[in-house]
Amino acid sequence: MPKYYTWNQSTKKFQRRKQGTPVPDWPQVFSTDALGRMYTVHPRNDECFYLRLLLVNVRGPKSFAHLKTVNGHQCQTYREACQLLGLLENDSHWDLTLADSVVSSNAYQIRTLFAIIITTCFPSQPIQLWNKYKDAICEDILHRLRIQTNNPDIQITDEIYNEGLILIEDQCLTIANKLLIEVGMIAQIDRCTIHSTKN
């Protein structure tokens, strides 16, 4: 855009350049090597942030769909495209942080830490972190259920994981006003099934 157009502040529209190098076979079309201004985007504004990341790394994109296409695969989100292109850091730091907390913290504290990580630190693969640490994150829920039913043999279930996800989402809403799906996490939460684990 900046090569062929300038931004008209009064009309709030782009207009063709009136000066510069004439473009062959295109009368009254001029180009320059001027650099355009691209504003920063806070990572909390996630899809805009990932779109900007793609715009500064993908050369010559032809459309938004082109930006989401990596090696012939049409990604669902800009974040997914960034992941496939290797533009996001790996999650080894957050993995180690959670591993340390499992040793020294209770389930509520681990759950809170996990909510903070996925809402403010923007890990590239939050679902993988969840899958690795979900047993520790939900340990207190399992313990409470064993006491309520007076059955120490109860094992962890999808309903218990579901309750853990609901508690994490509540914390994400408190911390950043974000649903789990907005931070790249599992979105399949059924708040009705929670009653089966509480009763």
How confident is the model over 65-116, as pLDDT tens digits? Answer: 999 999 999 999 888 898 889 887 778 889 999 999 999 999 999 999 999 9
Secondary element (H or E) of residue 22: strand 21-22
**Number of independent structural domains in the chain:** 3
* Domain shared by 33 and 44, yes or no: no
Smallest CA-to-CA distance from 122 within 83, 161, 85, 96 is with 83
21 and 50 share one domain:
no
From the CB of residue 120, how many other CB atoms can be counted at a distance below 10 Å? 14
The last residue of a domain, from among 56, 88, 120: 88
Domain shared by 69 and 155, yes or no:
no
Query: What is the rounded CA–CA span in Å between residue 65 and residue 82?
Result: 13
**Does one domain contain both 189 and 107?**
yes
In which residue are the tokens 């806070």 written? 42
For residues 58 and 31, membership in a common domain is answered with no
The pLDDT tens digits of the residues spanning 6-65 come to 888 888 888 888 888 888 888 888 888 876 666 777 766 778 888 888 988 888 888 999
Question: pTM of the entire structure?
Answer: 0.61
Residue 3 lies in domain:
1-37
